[in-house]
Every structure is written in C-alpha cells, then in structure tokens.
C-alpha cells in the first residue's frame, strides 16, 4: 500500500473491485485474500487498427476469488531451471 500513498498526490487511485462469496474485499486485504488464490478475472479486450498496426488494450473490471490458496502458498520459492539455454551466474 506504500506505493499507492506515493502516487495518490499525482494520480486518482480507484481500487479494483475484488469479491469473495459475493462480499467485497477491502483493498487493504487484497494481498492476503488474493495471493495464491484461484480467481476469475473479468476484463475487456479492445483492438484498434492504427496506421496498419494492431494495437490492443485491456481494462480489468473485477476479480472474484474462486478458491483460496492454501496457507504458505502465497510466495513459493523459485524452481531452478534445468535448461541448458539459461545463463549461469558466477558468484
């Protein structure tokens, strides 16, 4: 929420509606409620043809939690890649 406070003096902040069991979720609780959960996101996708080039834009309307994630699944450790195409880092 710190980022929202930083931009609120220059931007109009409008929280995206998020629901669980038809009850709206307080924006301060989004991270705990949505993190790791299976959600249904409703959005609009628009296509414009500008100077013979396709341009797409989207607008996210709302998020509905279908099923909550299990505790501890909000931030999983990354899985190491076994791909030989990945660059190796020297420590």
- Count how many Cα atoms sit within 13 Å of the Cα of residue 3 in the half-sphere of its side chain: 1
Residues 63, 39 contacting (CB under 8 angstroms) = yes
pLDDT tier at 6, thresholds 50, 70, 90: confident
Domains of the chain, residue spans: 2-67
Higher pLDDT, residue 81 or 46: 46
User: Locate tokens 């076994």: which residue?
Assistant: 82
pLDDT, tens digit (0-9, with 9 covering 90-100), for 7-62:
778 877 777 889 999 999 998 888 888 888 999 999 999 999 999 999 998 888 99
């Amino acid at each position: 929420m710190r980022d929202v406070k930083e931009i609120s003096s220059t931007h109009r902040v409008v929280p995206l509606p998020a629901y669980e069991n038809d009850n709206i979720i307080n924006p301060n609780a989004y991270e705990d409620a949505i993190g790791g959960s299976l959600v249904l996101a409703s959005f609009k996708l628009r296509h414009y043809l500008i100077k013979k080039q396709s341009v797409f834009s989207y607008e996210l309307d709302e998020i509905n939690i279908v099923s909550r994630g299990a505790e501890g699944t909000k931030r999983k450790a990354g899985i190491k890649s076994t791909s030989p195409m990945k660059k190796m880092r020297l420590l």
